[in-house]
Amino acid sequence: MAEPETKRKIPLVPENLLKKRKAYQAIKATQAKQALLDKRKHLGGKQIKFKRLEEFVRDSHRKHRDDVRLQRMEHKPRLMLLPEGHKLAFVVRIVEIKGVSPQVLRVIQRLRLRKIYSGTFVKLSPASLKMLRIVEPYVAWGYPNLKSIRELILKRGHTKINNKKLALTDNILIEKHLGNHGIICLEDLIHEIYSAGKHFYEINKFLWPFQLSVARHAARNKMGFRKEIGDPGFRGDGINHVIRNLN
């Protein structure tokens, strides 16, 4: 007959040792939590970003190039002639602005083009043409047609109300905020933008800057995507092709 199996005895741990282990684990957890809080307080919720020497050289070169270009514009200003038959322009930023001149950065912020591939409408005037010339190496701009304006507003039209970004899908919302200007629906808004009417600035301020989309292959083939959308600068009617690619 098989002998009965002997029960295996579990070694007992002294109670004072268990208490020491538990106290040690509590101390380590408290220290880890405090270290994390100190790190967040020191960094302000942001990670440390290291900048390579090549980036400093690139930013310095870009700022110097902007300063020289803006000085030439002041000494030899071109005649600011408004284009005949065109009152409206669409501007989209297609180049990064790291290290640019402060004057260029101020104009970019005034045009509300803080994010790359964001676009806004601009009513053409001598002052706005000067602003477009200042930021010309970083933006593409031209004359949008009615089809492009309609597609932009219907697909990507948003506004900001009470710190909330809302899509322009309700005519009641438009009438509530623009009704005192005679704008009660999307069609009225599109017509006022296209005609650059007397209430253009109020409506353009009501519109959130258009954040255009980028093709999926852009991250893998940046040069190819850059060739598709073209170089920055004045495009004329070609801006409609840029809107089709990015909308």
What's 138's DSSP letter?
G
pLDDT computed for residue 7 by the predictor: 66
Residue 53 to residue 206: CA distance in whole angstroms: 42
How many helices (H) and strands (E) the chain has is answered by 10, 7
Virtual CA dihedral for 168, 170, 174, 176, nearest 10 degrees?
A: -140
pLDDT computed for residue 4 by the predictor: 59
Q: Hey, what are 72's tokens?
A: 């030439």
Could you read off the pLDDT tens digit of each residue along the chain, which spans 247 residues? 455 566 666 777 788 888 888 899 999 999 998 888 887 777 665 666 677 888 888 888 888 888 888 888 887 766 567 777 788 999 999 888 888 888 999 999 999 999 989 999 999 988 898 899 999 999 999 999 999 999 999 999 999 888 888 888 888 888 888 889 888 889 999 999 999 888 899 999 999 999 988 766 555 566 666 777 788 888 888 899 888 888 7
pLDDT computed for residue 13 by the predictor: 73
- Pairing state of beta strands 88-93 and 118-123? antiparallel
pLDDT computed for residue 38 by the predictor: 80
pLDDT computed for residue 77 by the predictor: 67
- Mapped onto helix, strand or coil, the DSSP state of residue 74 is helix
Spatial CB neighbours of 124, under 8 Å, sequence gap ≥ 6? 82, 83, 86, 87, 88, 89, 196
Bridge partners, 161 (sequence order) = 164
pLDDT computed for residue 35 by the predictor: 87
CA proximity to 121, closest of 191, 174, 193: 193
Alpha helices in the chain (DSSP H): 15-43, 53-75, 102-110, 126-134, 146-156, 171-178, 186-195, 200-206, 222-229, 239-246
CA proximity to 67, closest of 99, 32, 25, 27: 99
pLDDT computed for residue 143 by the predictor: 93
Q: Hey, what are 111's tokens?
A: 């045009």
Q: Hey, what are 187's tokens?
A: 């069609």
pLDDT computed for residue 147 by the predictor: 92
Instruction: Report if pTM > 0.85.
Output: no
CA proximity to 120, closest of 43, 61, 236, 205: 205
pLDDT computed for residue 88 by the predictor: 92
